[in-house]
């Protein structure tokens, strides 16, 4: 049975034109209804679907999905059931919501399990045990290399041979809507002889996406690239906030530390690979050819996911500052996961693997303020006439992502965070 919900399917629940959440999406997340404990949810149009309530109504009978799993405050145990069972639940949701199906029981009891999303408290959907951040955009790596090493040495010698990455801090990954405090740290002033301490003056966003590990491995086990996607449950939007001045002083020789670990923002919904299947596409040509363990026989190893970043000043209107696409990434998710485990590193359900900044080939597609303002030398303009080289206190960064083709749109919602100053 295919897990792709037909493009022609329509729901009896009103789905506004252009919604991120048609019946073909049905992502998974966690919400807390007023006065009740957190539980698993999905989304349709402007509504949250309470999966625990559906179970209590008997509408999920026969799926082998225990009620106690749906009552968890994170998705980990649900994801660990495996794609066969989670996919079957998603298909059951589609049947219950399909305008052309015989689902009178669901329609009559819809007030029991449909909750207006505007009134729902969406929570961090995962318990993230480990988090890895890759550096997989050739355009981003090249831009940063030009800034700091010159055009002749923009890419490091290893970059075209392996997906570069580092292990980040999982405890500071937060759900959309959580404020981000401007970090404190050491910085070397331009032309200075000694570092100074204080709040970062070069706070930045990074436009990224992350995939969620859906199957565990044991220590010493590797994940072959041919089966890597079997270990990926779904994808989320990801903003890896960065303090560029702190990072510049600290990162040699061991890489990012305080300039990165103060916060990363994720969207509240995990969109399954099954929902993204209609939007498969080809990635960039890889030259030189990777080593055999990184060679993917699939021509469509990535997805056409449109991405946008807006900055909204305090009390102002949001202004789009970047438009990019997931398909620009040089290294695919399958390659990232195969490389991550080729040495026997074990992974666990709920681990997050972030893409690294996703920049495109044109200046309006750059995925960070570092690139958009070219290290602060070319400030960008916002809707209210103000300009930014880096983020200011009170700014809200809004990342959105969606796939769209032949009238079908599958979206991720948004990953939003407001910059708060030091008290």
Residue with tokens 């996406």: 209
Residue 339 among the catalytic residues: no
The per-residue pLDDT for 2 is: 52
The candidate with the shortest Cα–Cα distance to 371, out of 261, 244, 256, is: 244
Give me 131's structure tokens.
């988090």
The answer for residues whose C-beta is within 8 angstroms of residue 241's C-beta and 6 or more apart is 180, 203, 204, 205, 206, 260, 262, 263, 264, 265, 417
- Cβ-contact 308, 320 below 8 angstroms: yes
The per-residue pLDDT for 1 is: 43
Q: pLDDT of the chain along its 423 residues, tens only?
A: 457 899 999 999 999 999 999 999 999 999 999 999 999 999 999 999 999 999 999 999 999 999 999 999 999 999 999 999 999 999 999 999 999 999 999 999 999 999 999 999 999 999 999 999 999 999 999 999 999 899 999 999 999 999 999 999 999 999 999 999 999 999 999 999 999 999 999 999 999 999 999 999 999 999 999 999 999 999 999 999 999 999 999 998 999 999 999 999 999 999 999 999 999 999 999 999 999 999 987 778 999 999 999 999 999 999 999 999 999 999 999 999 999 999 999 999 999 999 999 999 999 999 999 999 999 999 999 999 999 999 999 999 999 999 999 999 999 999 999 999 997
User: Based on the number of CB atoms within 10 Å of its own CB, is 252 exposed (0-12), middle (13-18) or buried (19 or more)?
Assistant: exposed
Give me 390's structure tokens.
């880096």
The per-residue pLDDT for 200 is: 98
Q: Give Dmax (Cα) for the chain.
A: 74
Domains within the chain, CATH numbers bracketed: 29-123 (2.30.30.230), 131-420 (3.90.850.10)
The per-residue pLDDT for 292 is: 97
User: Based on the number of CB atoms within 10 Å of its own CB, is 59 exposed (0-12), middle (13-18) or buried (19 or more)?
Assistant: buried
Report CA torsion sign: 36, 94, 125, 411. Answer: negative
Set 140, 161, 167, 340: catalytic member: 140
The candidate with the shortest Cα–Cα distance to 303, out of 412, 214, 398, 205, is: 412
Could you count the other beta carbons within 10 Å of the beta carbon of residue 377? 8
The candidate with the shortest Cα–Cα distance to 305, out of 414, 213, 411, 228, is: 411
Residue with tokens 């149009």: 45
């Amino acid at each position: 049975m295919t897990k792709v919900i037909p493009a022609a399917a329509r729901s009896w629940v009103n789905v506004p034109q252009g919604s991120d959440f048609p019946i073909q999406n049905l992502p998974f997340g966690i919400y807390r209804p007023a006065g009740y404990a957190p539980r698993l949810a999905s989304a349709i149009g402007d509504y949250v679907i309470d999966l625990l309530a559906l179970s209590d109504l008997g509408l999920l009978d026969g799926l082998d999905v225990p009620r106690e799993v749906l009552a968890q405050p994170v998705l980990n145990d649900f994801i660990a059931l495996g794609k066969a069972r989670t996919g079957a639940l998603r298909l059951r949701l589609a049947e219950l919501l399909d305008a052309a199906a015989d689902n009178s029981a669901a329609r009559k009891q819809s007030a029991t399990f449909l909750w207006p999303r505007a009134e729902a408290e969406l929570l961090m959907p995962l318990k993230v045990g480990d988090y890895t951040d890759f550096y997989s955009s050739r355009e981003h790596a090249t831009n940063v290399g030009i800034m700091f090493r010159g055009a002749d040495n923009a890419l490091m010698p290893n970059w075209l041979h392996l997906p570069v990455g580092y292990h980040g801090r999982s405890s500071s990954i937060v759900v959309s809507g959580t404020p981000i405090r401007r970090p404190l740290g050491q910085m070397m002033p331009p032309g200075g002889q000694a570092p100074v301490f204080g709040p970062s003056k070069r706070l930045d966003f990074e436009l990224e996406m992350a995939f969620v590990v859906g199957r565990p491995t044991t220590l010493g086990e590797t994940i072959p690239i041919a089966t890597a996607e079997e270990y990926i449950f779904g994808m989320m939007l990801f903003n890896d906030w960065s303090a560029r001045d702190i990072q510049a002083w600290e990162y040699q020789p061991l890489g990012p530390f305080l300039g990165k670990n103060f916060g990363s923002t994720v969207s509240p919904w995990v969109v399954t690979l099954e929902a993204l299947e209609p939007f498969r596409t080809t990635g960039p040509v890889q030259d030189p050819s990777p080593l055999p363990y990184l060679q993917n026989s699939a021509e469509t190893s990535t997805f056409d996911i449109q991405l946008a970043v807006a900055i909204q000043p305090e009390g102002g209107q949001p202004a789009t500052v970047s438009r990019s696409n997931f398909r620009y990434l040089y290294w695919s998710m399958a390659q990232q996961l195969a490389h991550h485990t080729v040495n026997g590193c074990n992974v666990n359900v709920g681990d997050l693997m972030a893409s690294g900044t996703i920049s495109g080939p044109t200046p309006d597609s750059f995925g960070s303020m570092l690139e958009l303002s070219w290290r602060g030398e070319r400030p960008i303009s916002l809707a209210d006439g103000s300009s930014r080289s880096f983020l200011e206190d009170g700014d809200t960064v809004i990342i959105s992502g969606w796939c769209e083709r032949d009238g079908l749109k599958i979206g991720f919602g948004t990953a939003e965070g407001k910059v708060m100053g030091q008290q």
